[in-house]
């Protein structure tokens, strides 16, 4: 068996648009991370970034199950002594709805330089409009996930 090394130029990344309205946060995040890593492609190799760009719209309409809306918290440290900040899911979805999806997807990507490179291909927008129309993104329905 020989290891094949695929050139990035041979397989350009595609653009996909996902409508997050009414979708569960964790399921959406896992499928988006799968697409960002390129796991669905026959050329997938774990040491290369051959994934696609994903544009998520309607981020403020994502939902969580159970009592997570009230109990789920996000932690941020300012860097100063006593600078620990805790924000609930309900507060964060009102102020910055895109950060909720970004946080969930980032945790599902590799925690390395390669993972940070993959994360740059995620574009989250709160409303139904996005500025990526020039890239001709394909609509990605919830039935077509994975």
pLDDT one-digit tens code per residue, 25-38 = 999 999 999 999 99
Asked if 130 and 17 count as a contact pair (C-beta separation under 8 A), the reply is yes
More confident residue, 2 or 100: 100
Question: Domain spanning 15-64+98-140 has what CATH number?
Answer: 3.90.1180.10
Question: Which pLDDT score, from 0 to 100, does residue 143 have?
Answer: 65
Alpha-carbon distance of 71 to 89, in angstroms, equals 8
Q: Is residue 113 scored above 70 in pLDDT? A: yes
Question: Which pLDDT score, from 0 to 100, does residue 116 have?
Answer: 97
Asked if 80 and 55 count as a contact pair (C-beta separation under 8 A), the reply is no
Each domain of the chain, given as residue ranges in start order, spans: 15-64+98-140
Alpha-carbon distance of 100 to 59, in angstroms, equals 8
pTM, entire model: 0.91
Q: Is residue 7 scored above 70 in pLDDT? A: yes
- Mean pLDDT, residues 7-16 taken together: 89
């Amino acid at each position: 068996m020989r290891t094949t090394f695929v050139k990035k130029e041979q397989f350009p990344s595609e653009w996909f648009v996902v409508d997050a309205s009414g979708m569960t946060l964790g399921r959406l995040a896992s499928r988006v991370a799968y697409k960002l890593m390129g796991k669905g492609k026959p050329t997938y190799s774990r040491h290369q970034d051959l994934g696609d760009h994903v544009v998520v719209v309607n981020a403020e309409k994502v939902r969580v199950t159970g009592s997570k809306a009230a109990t789920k918290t996000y932690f941020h440290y300012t860097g100063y002594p006593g600078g620990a900040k805790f924000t609930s899911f309900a507060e964060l979805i009102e102020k910055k709805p895109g950060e909720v999806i970004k946080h969930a997807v980032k945790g599902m990507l590799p925690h390395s330089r390669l993972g940070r490179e993959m994360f740059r291909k995620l574009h989250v927008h709160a409303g139904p409009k996005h500025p990526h129309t020039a890239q001709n993104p394909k609509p990605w329905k919830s039935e077509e996930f994975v």
